[in-house]
Amino acid sequence: MAEDKLFEKKISRRQMLKLTGAGAAGAAIGVSGLGGLLNVFGMTAEDDNPESKNKVNFYGTHQSGIITPVQTHIYFASLEVLVKSQAELKELLQQWTPMAVRLMNGEPIGEVSSNGFIPAKDTGEAGGLDASGLTLTFGVGPSLFDKNELGLSSKRPAELKDLPHFPKDQLDPAYTGGDIAIQACAEDPQVAFHAVRNLIRAASGKVRLKWSQAGFNSFPEKNKKRETPRNLFAFKDGTSGPDAASKKAMNDVVWVDKGWLAGGSYMAVRRIQMHLETWDRTALSEQEATFGRHRETGAPLSLKNELDEVPLDQKDASGEPVIPVDSHVRLAKEAKAQIHRRSFSYSSGTMDATGAYDAGLLFISYQKDPQQFIAIQKSFGRADKLNEYITHRGSALFACFPGVQKGSYIGESLFKTL
């Protein structure tokens, strides 16, 4: 452990210099700023580095990666917890906290000097890349609260249980569940993966990777602004939904407002295979009827603009609803529930010897209550025309912690007696 000491000392010195520098420049150092000098829970608290390029702040009321605008890449990891006591679990989250700050700063989690006869602190593959908009979002799954040795059963929110079986689900255990989730999103795939890898590596023996999935979003741009990305069915995906910039909307839809999870959110994750071959043989009109929207513009059927309101009550000449009764957007709306979607496409490899693409949507949504997701998925039920073209292969639900304040650590509220 001699090298750990050395490491801490180095970091402290660097922090010290940074803070001294800031002081000399006349910048105000608040109480939270001084946290950088404190050795909290045996770890050095890290500062958000305002000088990092393309940085998202770690500290805040809420975790990053929930209402942060969706990035181009994700590496999603679902972990099994191996530790056998609550104290160790808490320690793990404490250990991860300054690392997460450094990763989101675009900094290595420790020295990368090349004279070491010990493994380097940081695996190094993000060297030279900037923060790249990295967000890290941590959550805990229902199975964590089942582990008697962790003594957390009394803390389990009533809402946190495995998602129910939905008709047509074909879940593969290899993509289902998990005790802890790390959602790493960034503008670069290597930065996202590097973050997860280093967190897991630092927790060697304490967690094991259960499943993971990389994904991407490709944004058309107009006047240098990103437009809604298209999913692999070529439809604009992410058009409708509560306004992430509205505090009220997010309070209504996303943020939990009670218990230790207050300020946090429930993350539903579904690994959904999209049968591209079948879809690609389908007439465009049929595809559009499936969603209730036009492919090219993203506009609701019969209308012109992506953001036009979906005319649920409008009928065509023959008296049929313009937005079909079995269309995805109608059924979603009929659930009368709202969720904040934050999905990514994936495509690599084949499913089997038929050569079917292993491709689809890593569907992710955030909501203050899993029932919001469940209501919509139930509304789809067997009715959703989209069912003909997709198969849900993976599923997980996580309670994502509230945001972290300087001097605190990821998930602290879970361990406090409330």
307 binds its own copies, rule: CB under 8 A: no
Stretch that binds its own copies, among 44-52, 120-128, 321-329, 370-378 (CB under 8 A): 120-128
Question: Which residue in the block uniquely carries the two structure tokens 């209402």?
Answer: 67
Distance CA 345, CA 273 (A): 10
Partner whose footprint covers residue 170, from ligand HEM, its own copies, none (CB < 5 to 8 Å by kind):
none
Minimum distance, C-beta of residue 145 to ligand HEM, in the bound complex (Å):
24
* Identity of the residue numbered 305: N
Question: Under DSSP, is residue 289 helix (H, G, I), strand (E, B) or coil?
Answer: helix
Provide the token pair at 134. 């990295």
H-run or E-run covering 156: none
C-beta of 117: minimal distance to its own copies in Å?
Answer: 5
Cα separation, 146 vs 154, whole angstroms? 10
* Contacted by 218, from ligand HEM, its own copies, none: CB < 5 to 8 Å by type: its own copies
E strand or H helix at 363: strand 357-367
Question: Which of 26, 354, 416, 417 contacts its own copies by CB under 8 A?
Answer: 354
Strands 39-40 and 135-140: unpaired
Per-residue binding string, its own copies, 206-245, x by CB under 8 A, is --xxxxxxx-x-x-xx-----x--xxxxx-----------
Q: How would you label 5-21 residue by residue, b for 16+ Cβ within 10 Å and e otherwise?
A: eebbeebeeebeeebee
How many other CB atoms sit within 10 Å of the CB of residue 347? 14
Least distance from ligand HEM to the Cβ atom of residue 149, Å = 34
Kindly state the DSSP code that residue 28 receives in the 8-state scheme: -
Of 4-12, 180-188, 213-221, 327-335, the window that binds ligand HEM (rule: CB under 6 A) is 327-335
Which tokens in the block code for residue 289? 């009827």
Count the residues of the shown chain that bind its own copies, applying the rule CB under 8 A.
68
C-alpha 390: how far from chain center: 22
Give the three-state DSSP class for 77: strand
Q: Which residue is associated with the tokens 């569907």?
A: 363
* Distance from C-alpha of 34 to C-alpha of 406, rounded to nearest angstrom: 9
Residue 114, judged by CB atoms within 10 A of its CB (0-12, 13-18, 19+), counts as exposed
Compare residues 140 and 268 and give the one whose CB is closer to ligand HEM: 268
Helices of type H across 203-346: 247-253, 276-280, 284-291, 328-334
Which stretch, 137-145, 284-292, 306-314, 374-382, contacts its own copies (CB under 8 A)?
Answer: 284-292
Kindly give the pairing relationship between strand 225-226 and strand 221-222.
Answer: antiparallel
Closer of 121 and 340 to its own copies (Cβ): 121
297, interface contact from its own copies, ligand HEM, none, CB < 5-8 Å by kind: its own copies
Question: CA–CA separation, 57 vs 389, rounded Å?
Answer: 39
Query: Closest CB to ligand HEM among 82 and 232?
Result: 232
Residue 55 lies near ligand HEM (rule: CB under 6 A): no
Q: Which does 191 bind (CB under 5 to 8 A by kind): ligand HEM, its own copies, none?
A: its own copies
Using the minimum distance from each CB to ligand HEM, give the nearer residue, 240 or 413.
240
Tell me if residue 112 falls in helix, strand or coil.
coil
The site map against ligand HEM for 218-257 (x = CB under 6 A) is -------------x-x-xxxxxx-----------------
Nearer to its own copies, 304 or 416 (CB): 304
Residue 385 binding ligand HEM, by CB under 6 A? no
Is 174 one of the binding residues for its own copies (CB under 8 A)? yes
Classify burial at 253, counting beta carbons within 10 Å of its beta carbon; exposed 0-12, middle 13-18, buried 19 or more.
buried
Q: Is residue 6 a contact residue for its own copies (CB under 8 A)?
A: no
> 148, 224, 355, 417: which one contacts its own copies (CB under 8 A)?
355
Amino acid letter, residue 47: D
Both structure tokens of 293? 């929207």
CB 8 within 8 A of CB 40: no
Stretch that binds ligand HEM, among 11-19, 153-161, 314-322, 356-364 (CB under 6 A): 356-364
Q: Does 163 bind ligand HEM (CB under 6 A)?
A: no
Residue 137 interacting with ligand HEM (CB under 6 A): no
| List of residues contacting its own copies (CB under 8 A) | 75, 80, 112-120, 123-129, 174, 188-191, 193, 197, 201, 208-214, 216, 218, 220-221, 227, 230-234, 276, 280-285, 287-288, 294-297, 345-350, 353-357, 359
| List of residues contacting ligand HEM (CB under 6 A) | 231, 233, 235-240, 270, 272, 274, 291, 293, 310, 328-329, 332-333, 339, 360-361, 363, 373, 376-377, 390
